[in-house]
């Protein structure tokens, strides 16, 4: 049987506490068409969102920017909006939030990412939603191809 929804999850081997013996699905991790491949590792925006939402100082909006630098390696930078109460005026507090966020993301994604803390409302929104992923790698690839032809 072939069944393809585009949802990404996996089968769990543990038996259900209710006694059922059928296979269980883990919670959905994301959609295959949302997946990014960064330095050979699959990264789902939903994974990033789960980590960010677990940090009390971080608000509901974030934007992931995937870029390919001149040395050819992909890099992830994530702009996150802080909640108003997170702005204490102390740089040490902001550095702590940034470090905690980077460490948690690295432990989940297995890829280092750069966190940029921004004020509430600074991530552009369209119809109340933010564009979660901006992939600039294709932009550079097109520029390089056109330069080689020209």
pLDDT mean over 30-43: 76
- Pair 100, 115: CB distance under 8 Å: no
Please give the radius of gyration of the chain, using alpha carbons only, rounded to the nearest integer. 19
Range picked from 23-27, 40-44, 113-117, 133-137 for highest mean pLDDT: 113-117
Determine, yes or no, domain membership for 68.
yes
Determine, yes or no, domain membership for 62.
yes
Here the CATH number for the domain that contains residue 133 is 3.30.300.30
Helix (H) or strand (E) holding 46: helix 45-53
pTM for the whole structure: 0.66
Higher pLDDT, 52 or 131: 52
Residue 146 pLDDT more than 80?
no
Going by pLDDT thresholds of 50, 70 and 90, the confidence category of residue 139 is low
Q: Calculate helix-pair angle for 91-109, 45-53, nearest 10 degrees.
A: 140
Determine, yes or no, domain membership for 14.
no
Higher pLDDT, 28 or 33: 28
Determine, yes or no, domain membership for 22.
no
Domain that includes residue 51, residue range: 34-149
Average pLDDT, the chain: 80
Determine, yes or no, domain membership for 140.
yes
Could you list the beta-strand ranges (E) of the chain.
7-8, 11-12, 24-25, 30-31, 36-38, 41-43, 58-68, 74-82, 113-118, 125-126, 129-130, 133-135
Determine, yes or no, domain membership for 5.
no
Tokens read off for 99: 């470090």
Determine, yes or no, domain membership for 83.
yes
Determine, yes or no, domain membership for 17.
no
Q: How many separate domains does the chain show? A: 1
Residue positions counted in the chain? 150
Neighbours of 117 (CB within 10 A): 18
Tokens read off for 33: 């068409």
Residue 9 pLDDT more than 50?
yes
Residue 80 pLDDT more than 90?
yes
């Amino acid at each position: 049987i072939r069944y393809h929804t585009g949802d990404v999850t996996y089968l769990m081997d543990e038996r259900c506490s209710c006694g059922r013996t059928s296979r269980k699905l883990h919670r959905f991790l994301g959609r295959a068409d949302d997946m990014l491949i960064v330095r050979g590792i699959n990264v789902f925006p939903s994974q990033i969102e789960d980590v960010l939402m677990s940090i009390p100082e971080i608000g509901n909006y974030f934007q992931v920017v995937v870029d390919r630098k001149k040395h050819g390696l992909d890099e992830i930078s994530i702009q996150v909006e802080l909640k108003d109460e997170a702005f204490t005026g102390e740089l040490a507090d902001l550095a702590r939030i940034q470090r905690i966020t980077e460490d948690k993301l690295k432990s989940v994604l297995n890829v280092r990412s750069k966190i940029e803390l921004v004020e509430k409302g600074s991530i552009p929104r369209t119809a109340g939603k933010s564009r979660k992923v901006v992939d600039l790698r294709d932009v550079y690839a097109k520029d390089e191809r056109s330069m080689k032809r020209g």
